[in-house]
Amino acid sequence: MNHKKIIAFNWKMNPGSLKQARALLNVANHAGLKSKNSRVVVFPPFEYVFSYDFWGHAAKITKGAQDCFWQARGPYTGQISPRSLKQAGISWVIIGHSEKRIHGNETNLQIAKKLKTAVRTGLQPLLCLGDDAFSHKQGIIRTKQCIRKQLHESLSLLSSADIKEIVFVYEPIWAISAVSHGKTDDPVHAARMVSYLKELLVKEFRFPDSRVLYGGSVNAKTVSKFLGFDDINGFLVGAASLKPDQVSGIIRAIENNS
Ligand code: PEP
């Protein structure tokens, strides 16, 4: 199946002002408008997610949120209601990001609950799966075991119809935020893991046309190295998504490679 490449910009807790956030959104929107072969999804922090002033009329942008709770609504202090997201026009949600797993002690079972509620609320989940540095150092067999376990546990509460609604991301934890530690993934290894995930989805979940993105310090310079691998259906981008020249450079590189 020939899908557009998905470019998912994860802004984390940035930028610090509505003015900067709108300027960045405009850059992504303008670059996206020139691109026929990409779908641009922006995941801003929550202070902007529910703000009409922020989203305005960015026609090319698909609206995303960085997380949601596993109950649609109810007495859960501090949680984000998936139903409220849907009502606010948000269509995508990141679930299982390694920073939530690490800093929020999120488990695969909690992720499974979130996925189930998100799908059944009509949100498009982007499920992040990734090996840690320890598994990575032990080699490809251990890395694959780690991903397979996360996949099975994260999908444990979902029907096969639910699973077909998910877009996956292979995002090795050790390759995230290379700006601070310098370690990035080799595109051949990244593509091998993306293909492995797709194989697992076919063989063990009867899901033949899954979409799997790659995430881990991708930027305008490195993105073309990953674009040679057809199995990679797009990218989840963190740090580079905060720099206007990187945003337009990534979208342009994808357009030129299509
Ligand atoms: C991320 O955290 O999802 C991510 C891909 O970040 P970065 O691009 O900064 O590694």
Ordered DSSP codes for 210-256: --EEEESS--TTTHHHHHT-TTEEEEEESGGGGSHHHHHHHHHHHHH
Instruction: Output the pLDDT for position 88.
Output: 97
Phi and psi torsions of 101, nearest 5°: -65, -45
**Dist. CA 117–CA 43, nearest whole Å:** 19
CA 169 distance to own-chain centroid: 6
Which SS3 state, helix, strand or coil, does residue 167 take?
A: strand
pLDDT at 107: 98
At 2 the pLDDT is 57
Token digits of residue 145: 């075991």
Angle at the Cα of 27 from the Cα atoms of 26 and 32, rounded to 5 degrees: 95
pLDDT digits (tens, 9 = 90+) for 18-29: 999 999 999 999
Structural domains of the chain in order of their starting residue, each with its CATH number: 5-257 (3.20.20.70)
Q: pLDDT tens for residues 74-110?
A: 999 999 999 999 999 999 999 999 999 999 999 999 9
Report the atom number in ligand 1 closest to the C-alpha of 236. 5
Ligand 1 probe mutation, 6, 7, 9, 10, most atoms within 8 A of CB: 10
Given this model, what pLDDT does residue 1 score? 52
Atom of ligand 1 nearest to the CA of 178: 10
Supply the DSSP string of 10-40, one letter for each residue.
Answer: E-TT--SSHHHHHHHHHHHHHHHHT-SSEEE
Identify the pLDDT of residue 178.
Answer: 76
Q: List the structure tokens of 162.
A: 């639910």
User: Cβ < 6 Å from ligand 1: which residues?
Assistant: 10, 171, 176-177, 215-218, 236-240
Number of neighbouring beta carbons within 10 Å of residue 191:
20
- How would you classify the pairing of strands 124-129 and 92-95? parallel
Distances, alpha carbon 132 to alpha carbons 71, 151, 222, 256, 258, in Å: 29, 15, 22, 33, 32
Contacts of 150 (CB under 8 A, 6+ apart): 96, 108, 129, 130
- Give the bridge partners for 92, in sequence order: 64, 124
Give this prediction's pTM. 0.96
Instruction: Please tell me the predicted confidence (pLDDT) of residue 177.
Output: 85
Question: Sign of dihedral through CA atoms 90, 94, 95, 101?
Answer: negative
Ligand 1 atom 4: the closest Cα is on which residue? 238
Q: Which residues are catalytic?
A: 97, 171
- Length of the chain in residues, anyone? 258
pLDDT of 258 reads: 75
Q: Which atom of ligand 1 is nearest to the CA of 179?
A: 9
Give CA–CA dist 31/176, Å, rounded: 24
* Best probe residue, ligand 1, of 13, 14, 171, 241 (max atoms within 8 Å of C-beta): 171
pLDDT < 70 regions, the chain:
1-2, 179
**CA-closest residue to ligand 1 atom 2:** 238
Query: How many Cβ atoms from other residues are within 10 Å of residue 206's Cβ?
Result: 10
Ligand 1 midpoint to CA 74 (Å): 31
